[in-house]
Homo-oligomer: A and B are copies of this chain.
Amino acid sequence: MNLPDRKRRILKAIIENYIDTAEPVGSKLLAVSFDQPISSATIRNEMSELEDMGLLEKPHISAGRIPSYQAYRLYVNELMDSYRVASEEIELIRAQMNAKMRELDNIMLSASKVVSHMTGHTALSMSSQSVDSVKKCELITVDDGTSYAVVLVLASSVKNRMIHLSAPVEPSTAAVITTAINLAIAENRLDYLLPSMANSMGEHSPVYDLTRQTLEFISQTAEGSRRSEVYVEGVSRLLDNREYQDTNRARALLESISDHGKLRNTLQSGAANIVNIRIGPELDDPSLHDASLMFSTYSVDRHTRGIIGIIAPTRMDYAQACAKLLGFIQAVGGSPPGPPGNITANTEDTGESDD
């Protein structure tokens, strides 16, 4: 967007003021906050024009202006200072992550806790295995054959389930089943396995039952691989924000956040390797129209990649949140702290360039 320098400065000041105070900002107040002072009247004129451009809004006639959604978009794209994270802070994050990971043994959960705590916002976290196909299957005998643990090895994780049978199956038979299934996986003809067994032994034998349940688990896993769990941490922090003092709005937001299916889709829709920022109306859900989502993929090591993000009012401190997020990614990413600022916050531009 091509905006004269003074307008940019004024708009930036308004946005940052509003982020800070959550109150409409007026011309007088703003006038004194500049280095070389401009009169409030001038600012009023500029504001009026910014309003015509769709960048500012008036809650009512005798209040100050607040930034519009477009203003936030402009802000994160062009105006925002890139905040930098002190390397001590990165060290701190690393220490916290280590502590949490000892305690919790689930990286995604730890990540959400740490990020929620350090940003003061509600954090979202999930693992970002891309389509994670089943590579191998094992059956482990429990209780001498009436129960089996099915273990599926996927490209980047392992899933298991307990299967209980009405009558025992010999471990050696289970081994045969395992071999057959693994062969079928390799040759991609799982669908033919079960019908052929049904013919040879009937549908009521425990061996058939074991195979059936195992195959069912495999297909469910394949189905569900792209629906990994979403961890939400620090929901209560949402209520700290002025905009959610109104219980109805808070309730709507909470409800949206509880819909992990939608969250997952949104989080997976981000571009890789950049900090994705979705501002209010850019999110489908209408009850998220006064909230913003900031998220990014990250990698812990070659095997584990995740998506971490925060959700907060549109009026969040984007610069700071972005910096903290990058700090987190750097801290867990194993890359050395190095000189700060070498990770840049490219933010996704969703296209619409009005004017």
A residues in contact (CB < 8 Å) with B: 105, 135-136, 138, 140, 142, 147, 149, 151, 153, 156-162, 164, 220, 224, 233-236, 239-240, 244-245, 247, 250-252, 254-255, 258, 301-303
Complex CA distance for A258 and B153, rounded to whole angstroms:
32
Q: Are B247 and A239 in contact (CB under 8 A)?
A: yes
Contacts of A156 in B (CB 8 A): 162
Smallest CB separation, A80 vs chain B (Å):
29
Complex Cα–Cα for A136 and B143 (A): 10
Enumerate 25 A-B pairs (CB-CB under 8 Å) in ascending A order: A105-B220, A105-B224, A135-B142, A136-B140, A138-B140, A140-B151, A140-B153, A142-B153, A147-B303, A149-B153, A149-B158, A151-B160, A156-B162, A158-B160, A158-B162, A159-B160, A160-B160, A164-B303, A235-B235, A235-B258, A236-B252, A236-B254, A236-B258, A245-B247, A250-B250
* Cα-based distance from A240 to B224 in the complex (angstroms): 33
Chain B residues near A303 (CB-CB < 8 A): 147, 162, 164
A291 to chain B, nearest CB (A): 14
The A interface, classified by DSSP as helix, strand, loop or mixed, is mixed
Q: Are A158 and B157 interface neighbours, CB within 8 A?
A: no
A156-B147 Cα distance, complex, nearest whole Å: 10
Given contacts A136-B140, A247-B239, A254-B239, whether A157 and B162 have CB atoms under 8 Å apart is: yes
How many copies of the chain does the oligomer comprise?
2
Beta-carbon nearest neighbor of A162 in chain B? B158
Q: How far is the CA of A149 from the CA of B303 in the complex (A)?
A: 13
CB pair A138 B151 closer than 8 Å: yes
Chain B residue numbers with a CB within 8 Å of A105 are: 161, 220, 224
In the complex, chain B residues whose CB is within 8 Å of the CB of A239: 247, 250-251, 254
Residue of B nearest to A157 (CB): B162
Cβ contacts under 8 Å, A252 to chain B: 236
Closest-CB distance, A138 to chain B (whole angstroms): 5
Contact between chains at B247 and A235 (CB < 8 Å): no
Assembled-state Cα–Cα distance A105/B224 (Å): 10
Nearest CB on B from A152, distance (A): 9
With the chains together, A303 CA to B165 CA distance in Å? 11
CA distance in complex: A199, B349 (Å)? 59
Given A149-B158, A244-B247; 18 other pairs, CB 8 A cutoff? A105-B224, A135-B142, A138-B138, A138-B140, A138-B151, A140-B153, A147-B303, A149-B151, A149-B153, A151-B151, A151-B158, A156-B162, A164-B301, A234-B258, A235-B254, A235-B258, A239-B247, A239-B250
